[in-house]
Amino acid sequence: MIITVTLNAALDVTYRVPSLRPHTTHRVLDIAERPGGKGLNVARVLADLGHHTVVTGFAGGPAGDELRRRLAAVTRADLLTDALVPTAGPTRRTVGVVDAASGDTTMFNEPGPTVSPAEWASFVEVYRSLLASGEAGAVALCGSLPPGVPVGAYAELVREARSAGVFALLDTSGEPLRRGLAARPDLIKPNADELAGLTGFSEPARAARDARRRGARAVAASLGAEGMLAVTEEGLWRALPPGRLTGNPTGAGDSAVAGLLSGVVEELPWPRRLARAVALSAATVVAPAAGEYDRAVYEELLPQVKVDAAG
C-alpha cells in the first residue's frame, strides 16, 4: 500500500469558453470537474498502475464533498481508499478557463481553507495510524501547505515516516521544501525551477548534488522535454523520452512521482524507476484531458526511454 498526502487538495474545474475576452460575459460551453491537488493526481495514477493507494490530507465544504464523490468514481476506485480528514473550511476550487479558439488556459486558484490546530492534530493521528498499519510501502508528501498548517509540517511528516521505516518522497517547493529537507526525505522530485530556487544553482546536476547535501537522500529532477535527472547514493542517471512531445504538461510531474514511487515499492532498480516516470510523464503530456495519462502511449514509450548512467 502507498500513502499519498495532499494537504491542500482542490476541486479542479475546467470551463471551456469560445474565446476569452477580458471584461465581457462568457457563456461556458462545458464544465469538467475532477479531484485535484498533486497527491490526488499521484494516487489516481498509482491505482491505475495496480497499487492499492490510501489518500489523506484535508477536504471540507461543498467542494470537498464533490471531490470525495468524484474520487470514489475514478477508473480504479477499487484500489483507492479515502482517508481524507474533514475541515470546517471549504476545500478550494481551481478554475481553469480554456479558450477554445487558442487552447490557452487562464487559471483562478481559490485560497485553501485555514486548517485549525485541532484539524492538523486529527490529520497527524490518521497519518500515524496509516504508517503504523504495517502495510505502507511508501508515502508521497505532495504540494503546497494550506493556511494554518505549520511551515515545518513536511519535516514532521518525513520524520514520522522514517521512524516507521516507510520510504518518504517529498514533492513541494519553497520554504516547505527547504524545511522538509532537514528531516532527510528518501527522495525529492523538484522541477528545474524548484531545484534552482532551493539551491541557487541553475545547472541541474550541480543543483541536485547540492540538494543531497542539504538533506535529500536522492533527487529526481523533472526537466520537462529533457526528461529526468536523478542523483542518488548509487550514482547519477539521465532519462530521456524518445522525441519531443507536445500537449498539456498539467499533472506530468505528478505522473512522474507515481512512476518513481511504484518503482520503489516494486523494488525496481533506479533506471527502471526513471524510465517509468519519464514514460508516464510523457503519456500525460499527450493525453487530451489535463492530468490524465494515455495508457497506450505509456506502454509504447516505456521501452523507448533512454536511461544513461553519467557520473
Annotated active-site residue 254? The verdict is: yes
Question: For cell 498509482, what's the residue?
Answer: 46
Which grid coordinates belong to 216? Answer: 535529500
Least gap, CB of 17 to a second copy (angstroms): 7
Binding test (CB under 8 A) with a second copy, winner from 2, 38, 53, 66: 66
Binding of a second copy by 144 (CB under 8 A): no
Q: How far apart are alpha carbons 132 and 155 in whole angstroms?
A: 18
Which grid coordinates belong to 214? Answer: 542539504
Binding of a second copy by 23 (CB under 8 A): yes
Q: What is the DSSP letter of 97?
A: E
Angle at which helix 153-163 crosses helix 174-181, to 10 degrees, equals 30
Quick check: helix, strand or coil at residue 257? helix
Binding of a second copy by 246 (CB under 8 A): no
Binding of a second copy by 174 (CB under 8 A): no
* Between 31 and 151, CB nearer to a second copy: 31
Angle at which helix 38-48 crosses helix 252-265, to 10 degrees, equals 50
Least gap, CB of 86 to a second copy (angstroms): 16
Name the active-site residue from 48, 186, 254, 294: 254
Binding residues among 97-126 for a second copy as defined by CB under 8 A = 97, 99, 102, 104-111
Which grid coordinates belong to 230? Answer: 536523478
CA angle 86, 4, 46 (to 5 degrees): 125
Least gap, CB of 257 to a second copy (angstroms): 20
Residues of this chain that bind a second copy (CB under 8 A): 15, 17, 20-31, 62-63, 65-66, 95, 97, 99, 102, 104-111
Just list the catalytic residues.
Answer: 254
